[in-house]
Structure formats: C-alpha cells, structure tokens
C-alpha cells in the first residue's frame, strides 16, 4: 500500500525529487504573491476593496504612527489574501527611512503544512 504525501498547494510539482525542492519553490511562490499584494493600489480593482495606499502613507512619513498603520495594513492584506503562510508578528516589522522617503518591510513567516522553518521577506517601498 502506497501512502500519498499530502501537498497543501496547488502550484507544486506532484512528484518532487525532494522535500527541499518543495520548500524552495513554495518560498519563491509566496514571495512573488506578497510582491503582487504590495503592488495593488487601493481602489485599483473594481468591486474589490483590497490594496494598499503606499504613496499616501509615504507622503505622511514623518507623522506619528504612520509606520504602524502601514504595517497593520500590510498584515491585514496578507491575512486576507495569502492563506499559505503564517506570519510571526513578533519578528516582523516596518522601519521608516526618513532620509529616502520609504519604508523597509521585513516579514518573517512559516509555510503552513510544509515546513516549520521560518523564512524572511524584505522589501523597501
């Protein structure tokens, strides 16, 4: 009797050569999905209220709490639209870079059902 390995993702190779190949492909796919989520501007999609407003929030970069508000918006978008990961909020953060008018986003996550290893996503916006 052969037991088929359960794969939680539909975009994976059904017969990977190793578990390491599965994790590498998943991390790449999740990072690409997060990139796509961060590039959607609020109101850009009809009948869909998802998206961020990075330009509006970067305009007010020096204001108190703007980095926290932006981080909360990013976390909410990921929770709503990326069910493959679980964020570690204690290790994730947004750091404002006042000199260059941008945020540096650092997200630490695990892949649900595939690995207990933590991965980090870093991007400047």
**Dmax (CA) of the chain:** 63
Flag whether 9 is in a domain. no
Q: Give one DSSP letter per residue of 42-66, joined into a string.
A: TT-STT----B-HHHHHHTTTSTTH
Which phi and psi (to 5°) does residue 121 adopt?
-115, 125
Query: CA torsion, points 76, 80, 81, 83, in degrees to nearest 10?
Result: 110
Flag whether 27 is in a domain. yes
List 109's β-bridge partners, or say none. Answer: 87, 119
CATH number of the domain within which 70 lies: 3.10.450.40
Give dist(CA 6, CA 22) in Å, integer: 12
Flag whether 44 is in a domain. yes
Answering whether pTM is above 0.75, one says no
Look at the chain and report how many structural domains it folds into.
1
56-91 pLDDT, tens digit each: 666 665 666 778 888 888 898 888 888 888 999 999
Flag whether 11 is in a domain. no
**Average pLDDT score over residue span 101-106:** 85
- For residue 93, the enclosing domain spans 19-124
């Amino acid at each position: 009797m052969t037991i088929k390995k359960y794969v939680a993702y539909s975009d994976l190779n059904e017969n990977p050569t190793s578990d390491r190949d599965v994790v590498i492909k998943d991390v790449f796919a999740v990072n690409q999905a997060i990139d796509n989520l961060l590039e959607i501007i609020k109101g850009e999609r009809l009948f869909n209220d998802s998206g961020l407003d990075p330009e509006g929030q970067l305009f007010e970069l020096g204001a108190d709490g703007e980095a926290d508000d932006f981080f909360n918006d990013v976390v909410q978008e990921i929770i709503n639209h990326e069910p493959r990961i679980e964020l570690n909020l204690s290790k994730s953060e947004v750091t404002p870079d006042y000199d260059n008018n941008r945020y540096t986003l650092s997200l630490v996550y695990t892949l649900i059902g595939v690995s207990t290893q933590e991965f980090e996503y870093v991007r400047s916006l």
